[in-house]
Copies of this chain bind each other. A is one copy, B any other.
Amino acid sequence: MFLHVQRMLNEIAPDEPDPAAANALQEGLGGQFGEMRTMMQYLFQSFNFRGPTGKPFRDLLYGIGTEEIGHVELIASTIAQLVDGSPRYQGNPSNLDEPGAGGATPLNIALSGGNIHHWLVGAQGALPVDAQGDPWTGKYVYDSGNLPLNLLYNLMLESTGRLQKCRLYEMTDNKTARSTIAYLIVRDQAHENSYAKALECLGVEWNKLLPIPKTNAEQFPEVKQLTDQGLQSKQYTFSLDQLSEAGRIIQGTSPSKDGTSMSMEQAPEGIPFPGIAVERPEEFGPGLDPDLMELVQATAEMEMQAESAPPQWGPANA
C-alpha cells in the first residue's frame, strides 16, 4: 500500500518557460531509461521477488521503486512548469481569434518544434512519452527473476539514466530544467551505488570501473552543491513501518570510491508543494465557465469532512 504527502522531493527553480528544454526532459520522464521505467521495473521486481532469505534485497528494490514514483512526480511537474505559459498569449480570453503578441495566433508556438502534443493533446503539461514523442511501453520493464541479473541490469539502467541526464544538462541552461536534472543526476548515482553495493554483497570487486559514466559531474555547480552534502551516498526506505531490512546492504564505503560511506534513512524532508498552475484560456483549461465555476465554488465552501482525520498514518492507528 502506498501513501502520499504534498511535498516535492526537491525544489524546482523558477525560470522562463522553455518548451524545447521541456521536450528534452521528456526523455527523463517517459524514455527508455527514464523515471517511469525505473519506477515500474523496481516495483515489478519487488512484487515478483522470489527467495525468502533475500528480503534485504527486496526491501531495497521497494525503497528505490517508491522513491522513483516521487521522481516521476518531480520531473513531470518540472516539465509542466517549463511548458506552462510558453505561448505567452496575452490576448482577450473571450476572443481567442484576436492575435496575441507579435500578431501571431494564440497557439502558433505549437507549430515550430518540440512536441506539438504539448499544446494540442495536453494543455501545456507533461506527457508519458520520450523526447521523440514515443509513448512509454511496458516492454521496457526488465525482470528476469534471477537476482544477480536483475541487479546487474539495474546498475546499468541507473548508469545510462545518469549518462542521459548529464547530456541533458549540457543541452540547456534553463534553471528550472537544471535544478531537476542536477538532483536526478545525484540520485541516479546514489541508486547506482546501491546496486553496486548489492553486487559487492554477491562478490564483485569494482576496482576502477565505477562510477559509470565517469562524468565528473561535480563540474556542474548544481550537482556539486548536492554531492557536497553526500546525497549520492544516501539511500531511503520510504517505508512507514519498521519492516525494511535494506539497511543491511547499504553501509560501508561507496563503490564509487569517492571517500564517502553509504547510509540508509527513512525519507528526505522534501519541500512544500508549489501552487496550482493558473488557467490557460487558449487551451480551454481547466475549462470552467462562470456557471461551472460557481458550482465549483459551492463545493469549495462546504465543510470538509477530512479535516477531522488522524494526523498521521501507522499500523498502530489501524
A149 on the B face (CB < 8 A): yes
Instruction: Report yes or no: B148 in contact with A131, Cβ–Cβ below 8 A.
Output: no
Q: Is the CB of B52 within 8 A of A276?
A: yes
Q: Could you say which residues of chain B place their CB within 8 Å of the CB of A247?
A: 304-307
Count of this chain's copies in the oligomeric assembly: 6
Q: How far is the CA of A209 from the CA of B202 in the complex (A)?
A: 6
A230 CB within 8 Å of chain B = no
Contacting pair B283 A313 (CB below 8 A): no
Given A77-B47, A267-B1: A311 in contact with B242 (beta carbons within 8 A)? yes
The smallest C-beta distance from A291 to any residue of chain B, in angstroms, reads 5
Let me know if A219 is at the binding interface, CB within 8 A.
yes
Identify which of B169, B207, B273 contacts A203 (C-beta below 8 A). B207
> Which B residues touch A207, using CB under 8 A?
203-205
Within 8 Å CB of A202, what residues of B? 208-209, 292, 295-296
A229 within 8 A of B: no
Task: Find A212's partner among B53, B107, B149 (CB 8 Å cutoff).
Answer: B149
Listed by A's residue number, 26 A-B pairs whose Cβ atoms lie within 8 Å are A2-B73, A3-B238, A4-B238, A5-B315, A52-B275, A96-B219, A107-B170, A116-B131, A117-B132, A125-B143, A128-B138, A139-B139, A144-B163, A146-B212, A146-B287, A148-B209, A149-B163, A170-B282, A201-B299, A203-B291, A209-B292, A214-B284, A240-B312, A246-B306, A269-B318, A270-B318
Task: Please tell me which one of the listed residues B50, B95, B306 contacts residue A278 in the complex, with CB atoms under 8 A apart.
Answer: B50
A30 lies within 8 A of chain B by Cβ: yes
Say whether A312 contacts B309, CB under 8 Å: no
A73-B47, A123-B48 given; A306·B237 CB < 8 A: yes
Indicate if A88 sits at the interface (CB-CB under 8 A). no
Interface string of A144-179 (1 = CB under 8 A from B): 111111001101100110011011111111000000
Cβ of A66 under 8 Å from chain B: yes
Q: How far is the CB of A156 from chain B (nearest CB, A)?
A: 5
